[in-house]
Structure 1
Amino acid sequence: MQETPMAAATEIEWMKLTAAELNARAESGALVIIPVASLEQHGPHLATGVDIVCATGVAQRVAHKLVAAGRPVVVTPCVWTGLAEHHVAFGGTVTLDFAAFSAVIKGVVRSAARAGFKRVMLLNGHGGNAEAVAVIGGECQNEFGIAVAAGTYWHLVGDAFAPILDRQSTVLHACEAETSMVMTLMPEGVRAERLAEAHGPHSTRPEGQPPTMIRRRSFKDITPSGVVGDARAASAAKGEALLDTASTIIAEELGSARLWG
C-alpha cells in the first residue's frame, strides 16, 4: 500500500521515507538523530542487541515527541557496532577500532550533510562509545560545516532515572535499567529463567579509582556474570517509565533553539 502524504509527514524513520520526502525534510530544517550503539554480551539473561534496541528506542521516542511539538526530525538506522573490546572475552561481541568507528559515523554524518541536513544529533547508547562519540561529533562539525551534537542518553537525563529504579541510580550494564527497557522494547530478548544469575558489582572501578578517571578493563575481570548492577529488580513498567523519562527530557533539550544557535 502506498504511503499517504499525511503518513509521510509524520514518519520519523529515514529508511521508510523516499528520497524526495527526505529532500523535503532537509529543506524544512529537520534534525537528523543518529542512534549509536554496540553489539556485545549482556550477561546470561539478555540478547546481545540490547544497546541497539535501547538507543533506537530512545531515539525514536524522542523523535515522535519532537514531531508532536511541530519540530521536523528524522532518525537514521542505528550505527550498530562500536567500541566493545572490554566485552570480547565473554564471546558474542562485535567491536571496531577507533579509526573504523570514526569512519563509519563520519560517513553517515557526511551523507546527511550532503543530503542537505544542517543539524545532527549523535545519540549514543553504549558506555564504551561515550568519549569517542563526543570527539567524533566535534570533528564532524568542523569538517562538514553543520551543527553536530553528541551525548549518551542516560548522561543527558542527569539524575532523572534514580526515582524509577530500586537498586541503582542510572544505567550500568545488563542491569535493572537495561533489562527493564528490553522487557518493554523487545521482551523476547530477555531469558527470564536466567534472571536469578543476573547481578554483579555496581561499579567497573576498583577502589581508589575516581569516577572522572578512565581506564578500561575487561569485564571478565570485573564481573563473572557479565552484569554490572542487579537485573533481578527489572520490570516492563520500569522500562516504560525510563523510556518516557529519557525521551521527554532529551526532546526538550534537542528542541532548544539555543543548542543549535
Structure 2
Amino acid sequence: MDGALAEATSPDIPVAPTVLVPVGSIEQHGPHLPLDTDTVIATAVATEAALHLTMAGHDVLVAPALTYGSSGEHQAFAGTSSIGTDVLHQVVVELTRSMTAWAARVVLVNAHGGNLRALERAVRQLTDEGHDVGWVACATEDVDLHAGRTETSLMLHLAPWNVRIDRAEAGNTGTLDELLPAMIAGGVKAVSPNGVLGDPAGASAEEGVAVLASMTADVVRFVADRS
C-alpha cells in the first residue's frame, strides 16, 4: 500500500496509524496560478512527508484533501469558492472524530492562511475532547504572502502545466502587518487589484523543490516528535 487512504481497503488499514489530512482552498491566485494552488501544495507536502515517515517505520496514511477552505478575503475574484470559518471548523471536528475511531492521531497539513482560525478552534476543541490532533503550516521563514515567488516556484515544480507564467506580474509587496487592516476591511482586492501579494519574478522549479523539502521537513518533525 502506498499510503493513500482513499486507495486502501478497510483491511489494509494498519493498527492505529497517523493520518495526514491536506487542507487547502479553491481561491484566486493572481492571473498566473490555478485556483487549486493551496490544495496542490498541501497534498504534495503531506504525500512527501508520509514517504519519509514510512521509511522511518511510522504507519502513516494520507487522506484526500479538504479542498474547500475559508477564503472570504478573496471573494471579490471570480472562481473563489469558500465555505467559511465556521463550516470548515465543524468539518474538521467531525472528520477528526470519525478518523480517531481507528487512527492514533490526525495531523492537518494546511497551505492556506485563511484556514487558521478554523483549524486552531477545531484543534482546541478536539484536544479538550481527548483526541490526538494537531496542525502544521506549509510555510518557510521567507515565504511571501500570496501568489508570489514562493507559491509560483512550488507550482512550477508540482504542476507546471497549470502555471500561466506569461501572465505573471507583481502585486502589492507590502508586509502582512502593513496590509492587514485594509484587507480586513475590504479583502485582498482592496490592496491588490490583480490578487497577488508579492512578486513572482525569479520563481523557478528548482526553488520549488527546495521549498517543498523545507515544508516536508516541518511535517516530518512534527509527527516524529508526537510519536
Alignment match, 2:128 = 142
Partner residue of 1:43 out of 26, 30, 33: 30
TM-fit CA distance, 1:48: 0.4
- Aligned residues between the structures: 226
Opposite residue 19 of structure 1, the aligned amino acid is: S
Alpha-carbon distance in structure 2 between the residues aligned to 1:65 and 1:139: 30
Residues 150 and 208 of structure 1: CA distance in aligned 2, closer, same or farther (over 3 Å)? closer
SS for the counterpart of 2:42 is helix
Describe the SS at the equivalent of 1:53: helix
How well do the aligned residues superpose, as a CA RMSD in angstroms? Answer: 1.9
Is the CA contact 1:42–1:173 (under 8 Å) kept in the aligned structure 2?
yes
Counterpart-to-counterpart distance in 1, 2:83 and 2:180: 30
**Is this contact kept in 2: 1:48–1:92, CA < 8 A?**
yes
8 Å Cα contact 1:199-1:232 kept in structure 2? no
Between 96-105 and 172-181, the greater mean CA deviation after superposition: 96-105
Instruction: Using the aligned pairs only, state the percent identity.
Output: 31
For the 8 Å contact 2:97–2:131, the answer to whether it is kept is no
Change (3 A) 1:45 1:208: closer
User: SS state of the match for residue 56, structure 1?
Assistant: helix
2: CA distance, partners of 1:108 / 1:97 = 16
**Any conservation in 1 of the 2:109–2:219 contact (CA below 8 Å)?**
no
| Matched AA of 1:139 | Q
Relative distance call for 1:127 and 1:217 in structure 2 (3 A) is farther
TM-score (norm 2): 0.92
TM-score of the aligned structures, taking structure 1 as reference length: 0.81
Alpha-carbon distance in structure 1 between the residues aligned to 2:174 and 2:52 = 32
Gaps of 5+ in 1: 1-7, 160-168
Indicate yes or no: 2:174 matched with 1:202: yes
Compared with structure 1, are the counterparts of its residues 91 and 97 closer, same or farther at alpha carbon in structure 2 (3 Å cutoff)?
Answer: same
User: Rg larger in 1 or in 2?
Assistant: 1
Cα deviation per residue 1:114-156 (whole Å; 9 max; x = unaligned)? 2x1121111111011113212111212333x3211113221xx
Question: Is 1:63 aligned with 2:32?
Answer: no
Cα deviation, residue 100, structure 1: 1.5
Match of 1:123 in 2: 109
**Partner AA of 1:75 in structure 2:** V
Partner of 2:223: 254
| CA offsets 1:222-249 (integer angstroms, 9 cap, x no match) | 1111001111211000001111121123
Q: Structure 1 residues 208 and 224, CA, compared in 2 at 3 Å: closer, same or farther?
A: closer
Task: Tell me: CA distance 1:207–1:117, structure 2 relative to 1, closer, same or farther (3 Å).
Answer: closer
| Alpha carbons of structure 1 residues 220 and 177: separation in structure 2 relative to 1, 3 Å | same
